[in-house]
Amino acid sequence: MITDPVCGKRINRGKAHIVIEHEGVAYSLCCPLCQAEFERAPAAYAKPDVGKKVRRKPVRHPYRER
């Protein structure tokens, strides 16, 4: 279960209306209204403990391989 940062509703993983990435954290919004609200003021709703950290693979040096 993940929490919609705008309305606080708990959403089933995969059932979110949309997932928006903001400053490296993915937030799941339940409906177009919450999406619009989040996009209007992402800083007000972005809480890293609510969202899911986006993991990025470490960049490897491309010229190291032989």
By CB under 5 A, residue 4 contacts Zn ion: yes
CB 50 to Zn ion: min, Å = 12
Largest CA-CA distance found in the chain, in angstroms, rounded: 52
Which segment (1-9, 20-28, 41-49, 54-62) binds Zn ion by CB under 5 A?
A: 1-9
Q: Of residues 26-65, which lie at the interface with Zn ion (CB under 5 A)?
A: 30, 34
- Contact (CB, 8 A) for 27 and 50: yes
How far is 28 from 34, CA to CA, in rounded Å? 9
Kindly list the residues in this chain that would bind Zn ion in the complex (CB under 5 A).
4, 6-7, 9, 30, 34
